[in-house]
Structure 1
């Protein structure tokens, strides 16, 4: 009787969406992905990931910002507790949480003025050069071939509208062909030259995982732009970093 009651409670939780929804099929990143950045809207209701490129710049999806946001860095760093306390009293911890205004957010627009779902964020202050960053591919890079293994991560919440988790989760998926509906939000331009997809049974991204980095051979090759609200995304939609590689360098150099 008790077993039947427990089963009923489990099924009820599943139907109501209470079962944990984050990077489905993932595990704790451990010491990996220490470059991961958390981005939260100050207006609430929007949470994303990002990646630290260097001491001053973060890359994410455009739809993750376009308003004042709080950027939280060093969330997955392997730093002892007492060292974190030391940083706090020295004031260094303030650099790890910065409020970024819209004039420090640079979204890509093509020659026709169409926006793409990729953005660079310039921090108010340089962070420590000891903070781990992710490496960019060379300018002449190409997107990974179909069926190649790529690695994703994020810290999506249990369900849309709930508070995000405080640990970063990692998973492996594989490059796949994009379907007709596998693209960024309609307000952003998308075509075969900019968009790529990944699919692996049992691996999904959820609300809160957009903007996070896609790694191929330990190098940044994509940004997740899938932004599911009520359910997780089975085919993961990404923007191809290689298409934007020159723009990334020019923006960081000139802004």
Structure 2
């Protein structure tokens, strides 16, 4: 029997901020794939008011039964702290899908394997739409090269945007001094929009999960193309928490600071032990790269 899918949204916002309640309710009551939802932008654009407004939106879509959205980072939930600094990264030639983090108005950090060719970046997601988009050529991508290992690359990259994004976009900070790898068993937050496997549709918002730093196993390393320097690689494991296709390059957060990026790149199934790079190992290189370029 066909039913009607009702999404009733009651939201208010102050000018310039997201309507987070809107997004939560839409995701909680998302209809089946053929349902069409009209995505709304800034509240002042909707209401034509300068300071604040109050919006009541009602969607009537015949022939669709409501269902819950499947979580992508396995064991995930809505992020406790907003990850508005999250960057969506896809290869122009298709085939690659990753995440990244906006460090400032000009630079993004991600995993090297997420790019190394022309890529399209989407930034500043508000509600269910991105507010900025840029295509980045290979020349604006900087991979760390290990001079002590015959120049072998590490799976970490800084991407220079073609033009500055709005300073209003959220960024994530890191410890420039006294940066230290989280201790074993420490809780870290991961988040991403990855699909369960390659070819599946990615999530439409960042989902988060808490996992724990653990010792890396013998096979818990970045791809063989990249260095597996023990000083830089760290791992996390927690029963029921996994990273999936498309979660690579996303931020690992410890005590509200960026402490790593995910480099696991599963294709057909999600990764139970999550391999990451500890950015404390790269601070000097990061600062120099952004200054010199």
**What range describes the TM-score normalised by the shorter chain of this pair?**
0.7 to 0.9
- Structure 1 unaligned residues grouped into runs of 5+: 1-18
Q: Which has the higher contact order (CA 8 A, sep 6+)?
A: 1
Counterpart of 2:114?
64
Per-residue Cα deviation, 1:29-55 (whole angstroms, up to 9, x for no partner):
276111000000111111000000000
User: Which is richer in strand?
Assistant: 2
Check the 8 A contact 2:182/2:213 in 1, yes or no.
yes
The aligned residue for residue 79 of structure 2 is: 29
Unaligned runs of 5+ in 2: 1-68
4+ residue segments displaced more than 6 Å = none
| Residues 1:38 and 2:93 are matched in the alignment | no
What is the TM-score with the length of structure 2 in the denominator?
Answer: 0.73
| Structure-2 residue corresponding to 1:114 | 152
Counterpart of 1:251 in 2: which secondary structure?
helix
Whichever of the two has the greater Rg, that structure is 2
Q: How do 1:140-219 and structure 2 match up within 5 A?
A: 140-219=178-257
In the alignment, the residues of structure 1 paired with residue 229 and residue 141 of structure 2 have an alpha-carbon distance, to the nearest angstrom, of 23
Structure 1 length as normaliser, TM-score?
A: 0.84
- Distance 1:135-1:164 versus aligned 2 partners, 3 A rule: same
Superimposed CA distance per residue, residues 146-178 of structure 1 (whole angstroms, 9 cap, x where no aligned partner): 000000000002421123222110000010000
| Higher percent of residues as helix | 1
Give the root-mean-square deviation of aligned CA atoms.
1.8
Counterpart contact for 2:144–2:154, Cα < 8 Å:
yes
Indicate whether 1:74 and 2:110 are aligned: no
Q: Deviations over 1:176-216 (max 9, x none)?
A: 00000001000000121010000111000000000000000
Q: Taking structure 1 as reference, are residues 30 and 217 closer, same or farther at Cα in structure 2, changes over 3 Å only?
A: closer
